[in-house]
Structure 1
Amino acid sequence: MNKYQLLCLVYVTFGSIFYGYDSGVTTSILGYNHFLEYFTLDSTTIGAFNSAYYGGAAVGCMLNWYLPNKIGRLRTIQVSCITALLGVSLQTGASNFATFCTGRVIGGIACGIVFSVCPTYASEISPPEIRGFIGGVYAVNINFAYMFTEWIGLGFWYIESNVSWRLLLGLQLVPAVAMLIGSIWMPFSPRWLILKDRNEEALEVLKKMHRSTRDETFYLREYHQIRSQIDLDKRERLGVRSILSKKSYQKRLVIIIGTALFQQLTGVIPIQNYQVIIYQRLGFSNLLSLVLTGVYGTIATASAIMAMFFCDRIGRRKLVFVAYAIMISASLILVVLWARYEASGSTSRGLGIGVVFSIYYFSCGYSGPMNTFWPTYSAEILPTSIRSFGVANSYLTFNCIIILLVQVTPLALDAISWRYFLIFLIMDIIFIVAFYVYCPETRKKTLEEIEALFGDDVAETLEEAGKQVEAEAAVGTHAHVEDSDDLEQHQHVRVQEMEKGSSPCV
């Protein structure tokens, strides 16, 4: 990986910090009496403003049915950043609950856009051997943002005025402004450029990103493979409409939507977003609840760092099996200890502490492994022509389930307490069986070669593309090609010929 590609990948994975801070900010302010009293909040209105945010995020995902393929992945990120500026301004300066909710909706739209387009963009610029690692970086950033929000939320708790929650909300501007400024130096996705027949630009981007001293011609082979696959898809008229008739596309869409559905049915949102309320129910003070929340975020970040290094080493499937082994056992411990805590008349401090540790144990399974797996897998198993549409639907499902959970959870905790989490335990068991049967391993395969895992044609492997590049260089120049610069010069000529239709793309 060269420095330019590293900077591009750092930028695109920063989108998870954008989402992580915005979605996590409400966890801490639920412990702020000034905030609760200012808007006169109760279980219903708390659920309402959380639902408003995730409702906006669902709308943002739906916008990604269209925007990333129409204006490009990069322009879509810029649109989300500008939208966020308006949403954060309304939240920070809100003088009534309606204005605050409106700001949360607009902020949610921005996060829905950026959070679902960044995995698509990242998968399209990542080398196959580190694509899981990049998904891991995405997960680390999400959890770091949560952790940062929770610890800074603890610090602002000591500010005895409405400045505390307004300042915490206002800091949502930082990731949005940073991504907007950084976008000036970012390239368009090379696969999107080829999809739009901007082949010269795509070749230049691939050269800047993937050319290295170890393999001078990798970017040329990759260009050939991408171009061949997209041309094949165009000849067969494969696109979003093909989902209705092509079974392999249907299967992939069902997999990523099903994964998003069951990922949220692990119970992570009730645990993560309402852990302050849970800790208070277990007898901990407001201040200690905020401290425990910060510890949760720290453990989650450590888990994500571990998963980041293992995703490409052990593969996607083993990572998920590890995740669910931890989450199922953690959920079982949580239910048993919480039930015993309530049976004791809520007097056993040790059982309450045990519930807290089961929550931390759960985080080790979800925050790292699942947060690494999902953004990686949901983007890489889809072909370029429907990647942004499919990923958007996956994240739309993700947010729709969250809307339900954030609205219901405060009421469910009041009504059935620990029994609520039995639902998630059962869902975990159902999913891991389905995952074992239907989800193939994709480790270290190029995005184009993953087509074969679902029974579709692969226009060229990287090896075949390399042979084709060498053959075309030798025949096209009628001379011996002595170095990669000659090969590159000839490839530019070939691109121009392809665009004029003088020779077919293979």
Structure 2
Amino acid sequence: MSSTANKKPTQTSIAVGSPEENDNSSKGSQANIEVESTPYSEEKKPFWQRFRFRVDTTDHPPQIFNKTLYLSILVFGLFGAARGVDEGTISGNLALPAFTRKFGLSDTTKTEHEIATLKSNIASMVQLGSVAGAIIAMKSVDYFGRLRALQVVCIIWLVGVAIQVSSNSVGQLFAGRFVEGLAIGQTTSIGPVYMSEVAPSPIRGMANCIFAGAVYLGIMMGYFANYGSAIHIPEALADGSINDKQWRVTFCVKFIMAGLIFVTSFFLCVESPRWLLKHDKSQEAIEKLSKLRNLPTDHPYILAEISDINEQVTAEKEAARSSSLLDNFRQIFTVKSIAYRLLIIGGGSQVLGQWSGANAVTIYASELFSLVGVTGIDKLKMSAVLGVVKFSSAYFAAFFLIDILGRKRSLYIGVSGQMLCLLYYAIFLNLVPEAAEGVVVNANARRASTGALAAIFLSGAFWTIGFNSIQYLIGNEIFPLGIRSFAQSVIMVLHFANQYGNSSAMPKLMLAMHSFGAFYFFVGVLCIALVWAFFLPELKGRSLESIEEVFTLPWYNLRRCRKLVPDHSQIHKVKYTNSRGNTGADYIQYDLELNKPIGEFVENTGTSRSKNVGGRSSGEEEEEKKV
């Protein structure tokens, strides 16, 4: 394989220009011929010479980046807000006076450890339900399809929220949060799987980061709902009883988001062509792909992409005639390449990401602010600001980093920055413990306190650039189509199991290790994450079907996959550029070794077009050809 992988084929592209250009060619001029080397020859140049602050769409017609595609991505991307709204809401609820009185969190008869246990159970019950939801998604996402699964989950989500908002006891609150978790656990399989399957390779990272960024849109909305409620709604009624409206009104955000996604999915979304082709719905798959790409069904790009998908589907069906739950489990643990992807890459991203401290910062933000001297309602205000910071940085990473810098560079930046910020915060808690009591003794301590506050904000920003982007994206890129949704569900089980463990352990961890000790632990995890990230493959710009070839490399060579394994997928063999850039002008691409065209297409312009191809006379008309 190495001899093939290292080969650098040279291809000739023969341009078919506009009608005016063809008129000139009929007078005897020859067609424009360009000899191109493989795109991976760019790897020889230093990074700073190769870098362009834009996504490379050279091998793709501009029509594929269209409104239908973006609206589908937007609706499925907003699905990420399900988890975020809950984390933002519960984070603020734990500090709302009416909520703490209602569910016993301010009960003076309880010990410190009893309060910590109750708080962690309330906060983490959604994560426990999400583990079960991710297990359900192993079959439901493939059984219903990506679009129908989204609609079913929205209904479950609404039911769970309704149970919570009507709660009059801790038990009912637990039940509602568990049911909501059943929905949230499935969103993290449905959304990223759909994004990876419908997005063209140049923007696949961006599409998945829209989902990841929506988590922080939800968190921001939850934070502001709590802050606004605390300002405008009193905790007690005139007779001194608890004013339940103060915390119940914050759940309106969940109702609005679930209803919006459910309704718009019927009008704006298109089912995944890859799922349709996997379930032997070939004609429908071609039609849906044509709609998503805004190209006719007989366009070479559509045929090339369908060919890539069908080739993988056929190979997988031959390898496994039947696909049962047991077969899938056996495959992910007995096939060495897939087991490595699951346990080391996918599992590693969840274990390291969830124990890096980011989840603790999100859910227990109000308490962490109090440790650096923020008191009263200002804790909720600072939490709202944190939501804005995370939301902004998440979408900055989505649009300007993940598909431009690449997955690994974004991860390096995020992990390094998060590690330094949490290290500063840990050192501050160690050296200025009196800040937690609201006592800052001198000017230096006050400045250090401001720095610690900034460190919390920046750690959240770096998290969204690093692990938050990777934890959803990577699992949907590395697995073959036959087990993609199943494997992603397994990874999401690990995701929520670790999140549950982290959410449950955080209050007790800060008691047992002291606050600073817990954050030193998170810094240690991030150090390990930097070493782990070094061995990851860079999958930016690759078609999903070509990624399978990457994992034929030994694990220690995966980081060099761009040099060792070029992308041989059909869609990269159809060129749509001219001297003015990627404008959709037609190209016929020839392979010099095979001495035959790889693909050829002439758009219907309503006029006869002439061309000079392979020595034919320039006035000779050719019918549309596709390979």
TM score, norm. by length of structure 2: 0.72
Q: Structure 1 residues 344 and 192, CA, compared in 2 at 3 Å: closer, same or farther?
A: closer
- Is 1:70–2:111 an aligned residue pair? no
- Cα separation, 2, equivalents of 1:323 and 1:403: 23
Please tell me whether the aligned partners of residues 451 and 458 of structure 1 are also in contact (alpha carbons under 8 angstroms). Answer: no
2:228 corresponding residue in structure 1: 155
- Is 1:228–2:311 an aligned residue pair? yes
- Cα separation, 2, equivalents of 1:450 and 1:297: 35
Give the secondary structure class of the aligned counterpart of 1:64.
helix
1:320 corresponding residue in structure 2: 411
- Is 1:56–2:147 an aligned residue pair? no
1:195 corresponding residue in structure 2: 278
Of 328, 331, 343, which residue of structure 1 is paired with 2:422?
331
1:427 corresponding residue in structure 2: 525
- Cα shift at 1:197: 0.6
Give the secondary structure class of the aligned counterpart of 1:65.
helix
1:135 corresponding residue in structure 2: 208
Of 97, 114, 117, which residue of structure 2 is paired with 1:33?
97
- Cα shift at 1:481: 7.8
2:380 corresponding residue in structure 1: 290
Unpaired stretches in structure 2, ≥5 consecutive residues: 1-64, 106-114, 235-242, 441-445, 554-564, 576-587, 591-599, 607-626
Please tell me whether the aligned partners of residues 354 and 495 of structure 2 are also in contact (alpha carbons under 8 angstroms). Answer: yes
User: Once the two structures are superposed, what CA deviation does each residue of 1:294-321 show, in whole Å capped at 9, x if it has no partner?
Assistant: 1111111221122111111111011101
2:153 corresponding residue in structure 1: 80
Give the secondary structure class of the aligned counterpart of 2:404.
helix
1:245 corresponding residue in structure 2: 334
- Is 1:16–2:80 an aligned residue pair? yes
- Cα shift at 1:19: 2.1
Q: Structure 1 residues 351 and 483, CA, compared in 2 at 3 Å: closer, same or farther?
A: closer
User: Once the two structures are superposed, what CA deviation does each residue of 1:197-239 show, in whole Å capped at 9, x if it has no partner?
Assistant: 11111000100011359x9532221111101111111112286
- Is 1:418–2:500 an aligned residue pair? no
Please tell me whether the aligned partners of residues 378 and 394 of structure 1 are also in contact (alpha carbons under 8 angstroms). Answer: yes
User: Once the two structures are superposed, what CA deviation does each residue of 1:373-413 show, in whole Å capped at 9, x if it has no partner?
Assistant: 22222211111111111111111111111111211212222
User: Once the two structures are superposed, what CA deviation does each residue of 1:396-449 show, in whole Å capped at 9, x if it has no partner?
Assistant: 111111111211212222332211111111111112102212x10000000001
- Cα separation, 2, equivalents of 1:338 and 1:481: 65
User: Once the two structures are superposed, what CA deviation does each residue of 1:9-50 show, in whole Å capped at 9, x if it has no partner?
Assistant: 111101012221123210111121110001112221111112
Please tell me whether the aligned partners of residues 338 and 352 of structure 1 are also in contact (alpha carbons under 8 angstroms). Answer: no
User: Once the two structures are superposed, what CA deviation does each residue of 1:233-271 show, in whole Å capped at 9, x if it has no partner?
Assistant: 111228624223321111111211111111001101111
Q: Structure 1 residues 385 and 155, CA, compared in 2 at 3 Å: closer, same or farther?
A: same
- Is 1:409–2:506 an aligned residue pair? yes
**1:305-454, aligned counterparts within 5 Å?**
305-308=395-398, 309-342=400-433, 347-348=439-440, 349-415=446-512, 416-437=514-535, 439-454=536-551
Please tell me whether the aligned partners of residues 229 and 250 of structure 2 are also in contact (alpha carbons under 8 angstroms). Answer: yes
User: Once the two structures are superposed, what CA deviation does each residue of 1:45-92 show, in whole Å capped at 9, x if it has no partner?
Assistant: 111112211100111101111111122111211221111111011100
Q: Structure 1 residues 183 and 342, CA, compared in 2 at 3 Å: closer, same or farther?
A: same
2:351 corresponding residue in structure 1: 261
- Cα shift at 1:463: 5.1
Please tell me whether the aligned partners of residues 225 and 465 of structure 1 are also in contact (alpha carbons under 8 angstroms). Answer: no
- Cα separation, 2, equivalents of 1:459 and 1:367: 29
Please tell me whether the aligned partners of residues 128 and 445 of structure 1 are also in contact (alpha carbons under 8 angstroms). Answer: yes
- Cα shift at 1:482: 5.8
- Cα separation, 2, equivalents of 1:345 and 1:87: 36
- Cα shift at 1:464: 8.2
**Larger % of helix: which?**
1
Q: Structure 1 residues 460 and 67, CA, compared in 2 at 3 Å: closer, same or farther?
A: farther
- Cα shift at 1:484: 6.7
- Cα separation, 2, equivalents of 1:188 and 1:424: 40
- Cα separation, 2, equivalents of 1:352 and 1:458: 50
TM score, norm. by length of structure 1: 0.88
Please tell me whether the aligned partners of residues 140 and 368 of structure 1 are also in contact (alpha carbons under 8 angstroms). Answer: no
- Please provide the CA RMSD for this pair: 2.6
Please tell me the residue identity of whatever aligns with 1:358: A
Please tell me whether the aligned partners of residues 51 and 407 of structure 1 are also in contact (alpha carbons under 8 angstroms). Answer: yes
- Cα shift at 1:281: 3.1
- Cα separation, 1, equivalents of 2:191 and 2:507: 31
Please tell me whether the aligned partners of residues 128 and 500 of structure 2 are also in contact (alpha carbons under 8 angstroms). Answer: yes
Give the secondary structure class of the aligned counterpart of 1:286.
coil
Unpaired stretches in structure 1, ≥5 consecutive residues: 472-479, 487-505
Please tell me whether the aligned partners of residues 60 and 112 of structure 1 are also in contact (alpha carbons under 8 angstroms). Answer: yes
1:175 corresponding residue in structure 2: 257
- Cα separation, 1, equivalents of 2:405 and 2:567: 28
Q: Structure 1 residues 82 and 351, CA, compared in 2 at 3 Å: closer, same or farther?
A: same
1:477 corresponding residue in structure 2: none
Q: Structure 1 residues 198 and 295, CA, compared in 2 at 3 Å: closer, same or farther?
A: same
Please tell me whether the aligned partners of residues 197 and 272 of structure 2 are also in contact (alpha carbons under 8 angstroms). Answer: yes
Give the secondary structure class of the aligned counterpart of 2:280.
coil
- Cα separation, 2, equivalents of 1:101 and 1:344: 34
Please tell me whether the aligned partners of residues 378 and 391 of structure 1 are also in contact (alpha carbons under 8 angstroms). Answer: yes
Give the secondary structure class of the aligned counterpart of 2:320.
coil
Q: Which structure: larger Rg?
A: 2
Give the secondary structure class of the aligned counterpart of 2:541.
coil
- Cα separation, 1, equivalents of 2:472 and 2:494: 14
Give the secondary structure class of the aligned counterpart of 2:466.
helix
- Cα shift at 1:345: 8.6
Give the secondary structure class of the aligned counterpart of 1:67.
helix
Please tell me whether the aligned partners of residues 415 and 529 of structure 2 are also in contact (alpha carbons under 8 angstroms). Answer: no
Q: Structure 1 residues 201 and 366, CA, compared in 2 at 3 Å: closer, same or farther?
A: same
- Is 1:108–2:181 an aligned residue pair? yes
Please tell me the residue identity of whatever aligns with 2:347: I
Please tell me whether the aligned partners of residues 83 and 107 of structure 1 are also in contact (alpha carbons under 8 angstroms). Answer: yes
Worse-matched range after superposition: 59-68 or 243-252:
243-252
Of 278, 281, 286, which residue of structure 1 is paired with 2:371?
281
User: Once the two structures are superposed, what CA deviation does each residue of 1:332-355 show, in whole Å capped at 9, x if it has no partner?
Assistant: 111111111117895324333222
2:6 corresponding residue in structure 1: none
- Cα separation, 1, equivalents of 2:166 and 2:470: 37
Of 547, 557, 569, which residue of structure 2 is paired with 1:461?
569
- Cα separation, 2, equivalents of 1:459 and 1:368: 26
- Cα separation, 1, equivalents of 2:313 and 2:589: 21
Q: Structure 1 residues 354 and 77, CA, compared in 2 at 3 Å: closer, same or farther?
A: same
- Cα separation, 2, equivalents of 1:208 and 1:465: 21
Count of residues in Structure 1 that have an aligned counterpart in Structure 2: 476
- Cα separation, 1, equivalents of 2:341 and 2:566: 16
2:392 corresponding residue in structure 1: 302
2:14 corresponding residue in structure 1: none
Please tell me whether the aligned partners of residues 413 and 465 of structure 2 are also in contact (alpha carbons under 8 angstroms). Answer: no
Please tell me whether the aligned partners of residues 225 and 460 of structure 1 are also in contact (alpha carbons under 8 angstroms). Answer: no
